[in-house]
Amino acid sequence: MTSVIRDFSRLCLHTITTKPWSLSEAIAGYTKAGVVGITVWRSALAELGLAGSAQALRSSGLKVVSLCRGGFFPAGTAQGRQDAIDDNRRAVDEAAELGAPLIVLVCGAVPCMPLQEGRKQIADGIAAVLPYAEAAGVKLAIEPLHPMYADSRSAINTLGQANDVVEAIGNPALGVTVDVYHLWWDPDLEPQIRRAGESIFSFHISDWRTPTRDLLNDRTLMGQGCINIRQIRGWVEQAGFTGYNEVEIFSDEYWAGNQTEYVERIKAAYLSYA
């Protein structure tokens, strides 16, 4: 039986969840709401710049859980693949300066490239970036995406495929992110979570609205959809994960509303359904 969450000591919000807020507004809003952790999306760094963002985060007292996102390794040309590696090294520099211990990888896919080739290019790209990340003290996590994104966002669509890459590369600085939105449907999810074990570096939560109105921006609050989040959290914790529960909700509907009220709704849903 998975334990009920009673406080916000492991609650982390992704800046994309409150997309209308600038980074300064997110820092102020999260702090005021008693949120402990923040995962920073790279797009949120534009407002204050890298040094300014790092300074604001340091003085906020918020725990920077990860930087989102690296990846997008496959490309049709060698130059394209090298550009992706260079961009991921820049993300490592950013993470190091922000004090983020982890970069989450949305691994990428090229429309009409065979998925096997995409996965090979992803593994090659990760292998090329890992030594640089290790030297900076930054870990990398492969986030498998729902197969509806296999055309253009990720050729890694199950936790089993992510575990395969992690095992093949065999570096303790490489692990996986379990995102319930992407993985809840997978009949092998429980054994693959067990297999991932200590290589589970982060855990993302939201819910799957039925019917979904948009394949990208219609995630919903925990408890409003059909994912048994608490059960999956139980599997992840049984596998040894003790990190943050990161709320990552892309939602045109919620982005259109008052973000301060929305954060309070997230907190209530978190206690009741996560």
Largest CA distance in the chain: 50
Binding segment for Zn ion (CB under 5 A), chosen from 26-34, 152-160, 194-202, 240-248, is 240-248
CA 148 to centroid of chain Cα atoms: 17
Please identify which residue in 179, 186, 207, 218 interacts with Zn ion, judged by CB under 5 A. 179
Residue 11 or 56 having the CB closest to Zn ion: 11
- Residue among 129 and 142 whose Cβ is closer to Zn ion: 142
At closest approach, how far in Å is the CB of 42 from Zn ion? Answer: 14
Q: Give the three-class secondary structure for 117.
A: helix
Tokens 């604001």 locate to 56
- Residue with smaller CB distance to Zn ion, 56 or 65: 65
- Distance (Å, rounded) from C-alpha 58 to C-alpha 129? 26
Q: What are phi and psi of 218, to 5 degrees?
A: -135, 35
Task: Compute the least distance from the CB of residue 176 to Zn ion, in Å.
Answer: 11
Q: Is there a contact between 12 and 39 (Cβ–Cβ < 8 Å)?
A: yes
Interatomic CA distance for residues 105 and 123, integer angstroms? 12
Of the pair 71, 125, the CB lying nearest Zn ion is at: 71
Compute the least distance from the CB of residue 95 to Zn ion, in Å. Answer: 16
Q: Which two tokens stand for residue 49?
A: 């710049």
- When the beta carbons of 56 and 266 are compared against Zn ion, the nearer one is 266
Q: Build a one-symbol-per-residue string for 32-61: x at contacts with Zn ion by CB under 5 A, - elsewhere.
A: ------------------------------
Pick one of 42, 119, 139, 204: the residue that binds Zn ion (CB under 5 A). Answer: 204
Q: Which residues contact 251 (CB under 8 A, 6 or more apart)?
A: 217, 218, 219, 220
- Report the candidate in 202, 227, 193, 194 with the shortest Cα–Cα distance to residue 212: 227
Compute the least distance from the CB of residue 202 to Zn ion, in Å. 8
CB of 187 to Zn ion, least distance (A): 21
Q: Please say whether the beta carbons of 144 and 91 come within 8 A.
A: no
Q: How far is the CB of 178 from Zn ion (least distance, A)?
A: 9
CB of 204 to Zn ion, least distance (A): 4
Other Cβ atoms closer than 10 A to 229: 23
Strands 207-208 vs 219-220: parallel, antiparallel or unpaired: antiparallel
Q: Which range touches Zn ion (CB under 5 A), out of 47-55, 115-123, 175-183, 227-235?
A: 175-183
Among 210, 116, 131, CA closest to 165: 116
From 15-23, 37-45, 171-179, 214-222, span contacting Zn ion (CB under 5 A)? 171-179
Query: Smaller CB distance to Zn ion: residue 41 or 73?
Result: 41
Residue 91 CB, nearest approach to Zn ion (Å): 16
Site for Zn ion in 241-270 (CB under 5 A): 248
Is 186 or 248 the residue whose CB approaches Zn ion more closely? 248
Nearer to Zn ion, 81 or 270 (CB): 270
176's tokens: 């996986």
Structure tokens at 265: 């709704």
Which residue ranges make up the site for Zn ion (CB under 5 A)?
179, 204, 248
